[in-house]
Structure 1
Amino acid sequence: MNRCHGTSALLRACIATLLLALCTSALAANQPCSGRKGGIAGCDGDTFLCNDGSISASKKSCSAVLGLRNEARPQSLLKSSEGCQCGSGNYCVGPRGGVYCLTPGGSKSYKRK
């Protein structure tokens, strides 16, 4: 009888370890600016600025997550690609209506609609 009791305890320990691993990986995958974006560099209003210079497509509010005062500022939408660097508060509008900013490398980083 002791043999069954030991197997049951081992099974419970394995299940608990598996659940802990699944929960930890699920939490890590849902962070703004995760992966190759390199983490959060700061906020541009409610938008997350990533360490690679792009913006995150996260639906979360950056200022709320980081505990910053949300100072409402109007979002400038420019027709040309001049002056719409990520983090400047200015965004460009593309030919099909997409709103983006330019990363330091010159790539377009689009905002989620």
Structure 2
Amino acid sequence: MTNHRIYTMRFASVYGLYIAKAEKKGRTKTEVDEIIRWLTGYSQEKVQMQVDKQTDFETFLREAPRLNPARALIKGIVCGVRVEDIEEPTMREIRYLDKLIDELAKGKAMEKILRM
């Protein structure tokens, strides 16, 4: 397994960047939180606990209570790479979340983002 730098980044710092990106485009922290909960199965309280504990991104995903099976429906390009072609599981999960936040920032409806 390749150890990417993002794996050791604190989830709290990436979370803050997700919120800033969404708010810059007129979206909300609440919507970011809903996306994270949908993807990972964390409750809002548990997301906040992970932020407060300064958990690294890899641990945040590894400890996710229930990764949403519908995440396999997430398709497209993030950082120049097609998410569905990423073989390394942890990086694929990170890019799924990146893609959902990108969709939010681009103004997509929450129902479409959450594959409803």
The TM-score normalised by the length of structure 2 is 0.26
Instruction: From the two aligned structures, give the one with the greater strand fraction.
Output: 1
Rg larger for: 1
Compare the two structures and name the one with the higher helix fraction. Answer: 2
Of structures 1 and 2, the one with the larger relative CO (CA 8 A, separation 6+) is: 2
What is the TM-score normalised by the length of structure 1?
A: 0.27
